[in-house]
Amino acid sequence: METQELEKIASQVRRDIVRMVSAVSSGHPGGSLGCADFLTVLYFDKLKHDPANFKMDALNEDVFFLSNGHISPVWYSVLARSGYFPVSELATFRKLSSRLQGHPSTDHHLPGIRMASGSLGQGLSYALGAAETKKLNGDDSIVYSLHGDGELQEGQIWEAAIYGAAKKVDNVIATIDYNGRQIDGDLDDVMSLGNLSQKWQAFGWEVLEMDGHNIDEIKATIDKAKSMCGNGKPIVIVMKTEMGQGVDYMMGTHKWHGSAPNEEQLADALTQLEETLGDY
Amino acid sequence: MIETTEIEVLGKKDTRSGFGEGLLEIGKKNKDVVALCADLTGSLKMNAFENEFPERFFQVGIAEANMMSMAAGMTIGGKIPYTGTFANFSTGRVYDQIRQSIAYSNKNVKICASHAGLTLGEDGATHQILEDIGMMKMLPNMTVIVPADFNQTKQATIAIADLTGPVYLRFGRPSVPIFVKPDADFQIGKADVIMEGTDVTIIACGHLVWKSIEAARELAEKGISAEVINMHTIKPLDTEAVLRSVAKTKCVVTAEEHMINGGLGDSIAQVLTRNNPLPQEYVGVNDTFGESGTPAELMTKYGIDTRNVVQAALKVIERK
């Protein structure tokens, strides 16, 4: 898909995000906005999938797991906009009896979701498991996952990192949303990850780096990662992003990690984000 | 002395070996069965499966959290993962992983847990989990099975492959008498009435089933007719079997190698409270950790032996 088209979709996704969280005065806009470009490229240009016919088993389809489940708004928007469920359903986010739970859930049977997430650190293990099953099934599709950088403080991530390299799970592409911020403040103040790329390299992973707000770079990096699959090593993309990207007052701070804009703030945000596909 | 149902002892083996044999057999029958183990292949008796199906066996190292979430991921694409480690590391250590990725996500994972309870023995309380039945039965979507002997563990291991959904299968380390027939038809959620009686109902699971049989024989010598129910499935509970039996006996003893708080006994108490309030006595571990010792010594010291079942029966009959 043309870069300009993808940029238009990402702008609409950002509108969806701020409107969804503002409507219920809860949710996580910061990280959602930061991952809008990546997930738009992944779902609209790279993923081998069939949104109109969602199947849990994903045979001969690529699989995506959102490990940092709190950025559900961006995932729901991208899923709806790519055809998994009606866009109008975004209006039910975090409301009683909705399929769009605060954190992603399979319990409510929302097409596009294969595992609950929200309790952090588990998604890389999901990806490795699904990838091992693909190998057993002779299915050469790819398993993708997305993780927060703060989430990497969870020990389970590193259990999975050891497994992925030791067992040569080379059909997994994990991406880290490296925005350097978490709920309590800057990641380096809370608990620094040191040299993140070197950490993954030391754990035996192929490491790519990219700017998470440059659509062309995202496209090229995912293509490169795909071309590296099957070479005996799992792949991780360290993606530099800005929390709150696209809304000026949400950028440069951790304060919008888990806070929703009020009506006035929402109006301000919407003036900065072009409506390209029509609001839900 | 009164007549008791005759129960033939067919030998003596550990229940974990029943799991190992069952896993191999279901592995042969069902090509979707895969197994994961966290560095306890020998202890879990998973070597036969590993040797026969190396491509379907996943050694994950000492990393149980990764194992549980990986198992959940492996169901996507149709596999039926059996995870194997000690009961403590199968539950307490990984409760949140099980809760989110297996129970809440309703994945077809079979959590197979060995060395449960005090009879793990000399390793001591760090490894003797006595809370696992409670933790697992509280999770929505989870089926909880505690088979009584080698044959039943083998049968249960095979049967759970046909149940779509999460299962917790709990078994143990020591060698114990085998009394379930090798060709018995194991049905998940259907209790086995193994001795019929009229004075007291003894409902037990796991290693305490044999102790309850021994207790029923001792009670018979005192002229008391005890009904013994092997409640191998804690959840879903065979409520009808409980109510049918207590309609006759009017009192219950529950017996388990688990904390009294939150175990089989509490599940039975709930049935009685809601349907037919009758006296119940608990045989179980009373809010304390275990310690190092032989399985037999520990069962005696912590009050989950044959004599404890007998005493509880005599007491509960008095309360009728």
Half-sphere exposure of B173 (CA within 13 A, CB side): 21
Q: Is it the case that residue B1 has pLDDT exceeding 80?
A: no
Averaged pLDDT score across all residues of chain A:
98
Q: How far apart, in whole angstroms, are the C-alpha atoms of residue B7 and residue B180? A: 9
Q: Which helix (H) or strand (E) holds B307?
A: helix B306-318
Across the interface, which of A107, A133, A160 has its CB nearest the CB of B66? Answer: A160
Q: A107–B58: do the CB atoms touch at under 8 Å?
A: no
Cβ-Cβ pairs closer than 8 A, A with B, add up to 117
pLDDT tens figures, B200-245: 999 999 999 999 999 999 999 999 999 999 999 999 999 999 999 9
Which stretch of DSSP H or E encloses residue A64? strand A63-66
* pLDDT tens figures, A198-257: 999 999 999 999 999 999 999 999 999 999 999 999 999 999 999 999 999 999 999 999
Across the interface, whether the CB atoms of A129 and B106 are under 8 A apart is answered: no
What is the spatial distance between Cα A237 and Cα A259, in angstroms, rounded to a whole number? 27
Domain membership flag for residue A159: yes
For B94-238, where are the alpha helices, taking DSSP H only?
95-97, 132-137, 150-159, 208-221
Give the angle B152-B158-B163 at the CA atoms, nearest 5°: 110
Contacts of B38 in chain A (CB under 8 A): none
> What's the whole-number mean pLDDT along residues A155-177?
98
Give yes or no for a contact between A131 and A173, defined as CB atoms under 8 angstroms apart. Answer: no
Buried residues in A124-133 as b, exposed as e (16+ CB within 10 A):
bbbbbbbbbb
Calculate the average pLDDT of chain B: 98
The count of structural domains within chain A is 1
Query: What is the pLDDT, as a whole number, of residue B2?
Result: 87
Q: Which of B66, B67, B94 to mutate to test the interface with A (most CBs of A within 10 A)?
A: B66
- pLDDT over 70, % of chain B: 100
> Quick one: average pLDDT of B264-268?
98
CATH of the domain at A244: 3.40.50.970
Q: How far is B105 from chain A (nearest CA, A)?
A: 5
Alpha-carbon distance A97 to nearest alpha carbon in chain B (angstroms): 16
A140 touches chain B (CB under 8 A): no
A279 assigned to some structural domain: no
Question: pLDDT digits over B143-186, tens only?
Answer: 999 999 999 999 999 999 999 999 999 999 999 999 999 999 99
Residue whose C-alpha is closest to residue B306's, from B231, B172, B213, B220: B213
Residues of B annotated as catalytic are 64
What is the SS3 assignment for A19? helix
- H helix intervals, chain A: 3-24, 29-34, 36-41, 72-81, 123-136, 155-166, 187-191, 196-202, 215-228, 263-272
Element (H, E) at B249: helix B239-249
Which of A59, A65, A108, A133 to probe by mutation at the B interface, max B CB count within 10 Å?
A133
Q: Is the pTM of this model over 0.95?
A: yes
**In B48-135, at which residue ranges do the beta strands (DSSP E only) sit?**
57-59, 80-86, 110-114
Q: Which CATH architecture has domain B192-318?
A: 3-Layer(aba) Sandwich (3.40)
What pLDDT does residue B318 have?
A: 98
Residue B133, by phi and psi: left (phi above 0), alpha (psi -120 to 50) or beta?
A: alpha
Cβ within 8 Å, pair A126-B63? no
Q: Are A171 and A143 in contact (CB under 8 A)?
A: yes
Instruction: Please tell me if the domain spanning B13-177 has the same topology as the one spanning B192-318.
Output: yes
At A264 the three-state DSSP class reads helix
Cα–Cα distance between A145 and A125 in angstroms, integer? 10
Cis-peptide, bond into residue B236, ω within 30° of zero: yes
The range of the structural domain enclosing residue A147 comes to: 3-272
Distance CA A82, CA A54 (A): 12
- Predicted confidence (pLDDT) at residue A68 exceeds the cutoff of 90: yes
User: What percent of the residues of chain B are helix, what percent strand, and what percent coil, each to the nearest 5?
Assistant: 40, 20, 40
Tokens of B164: 């779509």
Residue A125 has pLDDT above 80, yes or no: yes
Contacting residues of A for B33, CB less than 8 Å apart? none
| Contact call for residues B159 and B186 (beta carbons, < 8 A) | yes
Is A242's Cβ below 8 Å from some Cβ in B?
Answer: no
Candidates B55, B67, B68, B76: best to mutate against A (most CBs of A within 10 A) is B76
What's the CATH number of domain B13-177, 2.60.15.10, 3.40.50.970, 1.10.150.120, 3.40.50.1000? Answer: 3.40.50.970
Sign of CA dihedral A23, A25, A26, A32: positive
Partnered with residue B253 across adjacent β-strands are: B202, B281
Residue B3 has a pLDDT of 87
Residue A61 contacts B where some CB pair is shorter than 8 Å: no
Q: How far apart are CA A134 and CA B73, in angstroms?
A: 10
Q: What token pair was written down for A85? A: 């469920």
What residue ranges do the domains of chain B occupy? 13-177, 192-318
Q: Is A128 on the interface with B (CB under 8 A)?
A: yes
Flag if A129 and B71 touch (Cβ within 8 Å): yes
**Residue B166 near residue B109 (C-beta atoms within 8 A):** yes
